[in-house]
Amino acid sequence: MGVDRFAEKLARSMLAGEGAGIIWRLHVDAAMLYRAGNRAAAVVFVEIADAAEREWCRCGSRAEAPPS
């Protein structure tokens, strides 16, 4: 499984569990990692956040709907 596929799968899972707020949280955490000097981890967090945002845009509010 490539990094992109891994990020997409993880993003879907995080989005389903945490809602759209996880997108912002991932970006904030990426910024903190970058400032701490961990640039590689920051890049991965941004990739996951971007994948989550793409999924959220694709699914719209259905991604945040509570289970029936």
- Mean pLDDT over 14-42 rounds to 95
Tokens of 38: 């961990």
Judged by DSSP in three states, 46 sits in: helix
Cα separation, 9 vs 15, in Å, equals 10
The tens digit of pLDDT for each residue in 9-27 reads: 999 999 989 989 999 999 9
In the prediction, which pLDDT does 59 show?
82
Section 39-65 average pLDDT: 84
What is this structure's pTM? 0.80
Question: How far apart, in whole angstroms, are the C-alpha atoms of residue 10 and residue 40?
Answer: 17
Q: Is the pLDDT of residue 45 over 70?
A: yes
Structure tokens at 60: 């719209």
- HSE-up of 23 (CA within 13 Å, CB side)? 16
| pLDDT at residue 60 tops 60 | yes
